[in-house]
Structure 1
Amino acid sequence: MNLNIVNTPFLLLDEARMQRNIDRLDVHVKRLGVSLRPHVKTAKSVAVAERLFNGSKGPITVSTLLEAEYFADHGYTDMIYAIGISPDKLERVVALRKRGVDIAVLLDSQEQAEALATAGRDHGVTIAALIEIDCDGERAGLTPQDAEIVTIASYLHQHAELRGVLLHAGGSYACETDAEKAAAAEHERASAVLAAEAIRAAGVPCPVVSVGSTPTAHYARDLTGVTEVRAGVYVFFDLVMAGINVCTLDDIALSVVTTVIGHRNDQGWIMTDAGWMAMSRDRGTAGQAVDQGYGVVADSNGRVIPDLIMIRTSQEHGVLALREGSNASLPDLPVGTKLRILPNHACATAAQHSSFYVLDPHGRAGDISAVWPRINGW
């Protein structure tokens, strides 16, 4: 199969680039002496996970219980469900625990801890939890100095199982310079260690100190006191990561293949069959130094076409045009031409698709070696 004969739009995965990205972070984290717990929320695919662990069933992070159940069905038994737990989801957590899956949940309140302990007692299982710590005001969690951390930790130690603390430095996505990203990584580490030490000082074990975001994972220089790093989008990368120099355009392993379906010469537009249903509405680069619209345009071989971006979308239409201020000439792309669009946010774009079409790393240009299913839903 060749990408030129597959009906568009579809999600294309460059396996060689993906493997290079996987190896890069794996080497870096090992050098720092901690383990890596990849986040599979972008991939949502067993085939991708197999590449993360060289075919074994390593520890993973999930963002939905459907992911947890899907990966459990394929033999993965060591998971963190890294979204704050709600009581209505505890029955599914219990079911996974009874299947032999060591799934730990995330919480940041006494209310959640009590619901967890009650569910465990009612069903005759022990449910492990990590306390979420907020290091930069970007999302949920308790600040590292909050006295409630010790209160919750003590309660979990007595009535359930305290697994440890977990942080995600979401603010690192706004760090442009290498120094800023390194500082964010160190702040994430220090915040995690501070919370863990407070718990231990109260006589409660805190075995896991889990940190991670793709920027901080790559720019951490010292992980003393940390036991594991989590990251997800690094497997594929995207324009947001390229915009803060965590990767280059040549590292982006995902693209959406689209077909030219028309032209609006009066507007300087090239029309394609990939709209927001294929790309998502994510405009993650809009606040960066370079706004990439809805995606950067490359030819069918993956070569970026200078200054051509997807400037607009409707449900099933994408509009390509030269970026504002460009001195380039609009390329001649006849109807039927196949193009690749590099996405702003790999997670959001992948979520629009049910499978990856995988480029053959050993074949001719554009050859597809496999179609890897992926899941969506909660």
Structure 2
Amino acid sequence: MPLPILALAIASFCIGTTEFVIMGLLPEVAADLGVSIPSAGLLVTGYALGVVFGAPIVAMATAHLPRKPVLVALTALFVVGNLFCAIAPNYWLLMAARVFTAFGHGAFFGIGSVVAASLVPRNKRASAMAMMFAGLTLSNILGVPAGTALGEAFGWRSTFFAVVGIGLISVAAIAWLVPSNVAEPSGGGLRGELRVLGKLQVWLAMLIASLASASLFAVFTYIKPYLTDVSGLSTAAVTWVLLLFGAGMTIGNIIGGRLADWKLMPTVIGTLLMMALMLVAFAEFGAIATVAVGIVFLWGLLIFIVVPPLQIRVVEAASEGPNLAATLNQGAFNVGNASGAWIGGVALSWGVSYANLPFVGAALALVAVAVAVMSQALDRRTPAVALQAPAE
């Protein structure tokens, strides 16, 4: 892994841990701050909304600035935000700190992916993005379990102090290792960044990202009751299954980068189709514990196979001003997270059983397939302007 991309991966590990570790600490946070666990759960929602609304604001505000200082500043924002989380004296200040921290999330991954792609030859760009996102996937395997264990042993605040330490390392790594002149903003500045948002293919790529994420979260939000009530696993076993899901994400991220460098849209379409079929199998055979465990691993693998292709798709579609579009794509994933969880909840409230909930995810994945097929068809109809990265 090139050292500049390693620096970005360290920062993405820090950011991923920040986002997800709160889920394992909800009882401790709720008890310490005197709120209910559902109220503490809104700290997850607040972070997601901070990503969605913060991404375009930060991207537009920094469109004319050099990329390296922006990445250093965004990583420093995470350090400060996590420090505020660690010392927050009450629930509402913790919520404010979480939202503040999340404002840099989408912009970091959007700008970071453009920077990572610029550091390698054109035919390796998706793989470079995958290497940067590897930090995010590893945070689910290492950062979240370790952070949860630390918080349970020494109090939830200790976890955020630990993330502050990792964040300082990532700030130093980016400042030291990322070249100063990397991926400089286009001459069009903010106007050029906004102009590319008029391209249909940019929006189609973001729609695919939202639908893919919604397909995951419509079911994964309720994975614990599914695995305990339908598959018959113990609560302790669920923890290990989720670690297996994280391992699948990590492997899928690497595979997705390589496949996208080879055949981008066929990778997206084929993977989403396999995801739909796998979710149907989950509904049909999820009651068999060993089958359910295997499907969860494959599920994690498939969902992250599509992440690098979709990110490079947006970057190439918006090649004249990719930073804002790449950042908005991170917001699109988070819109899918929130809407998928809501769709799954609505389905359950309407009487859909946990056993049949994967059919809802499969339907969303098939809609994503349809959008991806349409996007590829538009490429074929307009070969003169087919998506190409700009000349180096």
Quickly name the TM-score band, shorter chain normalised. Answer: under 0.3
Larger % of strand: which? Answer: 1
TM-score (norm 2): 0.21
Larger % of helix: which? Answer: 2
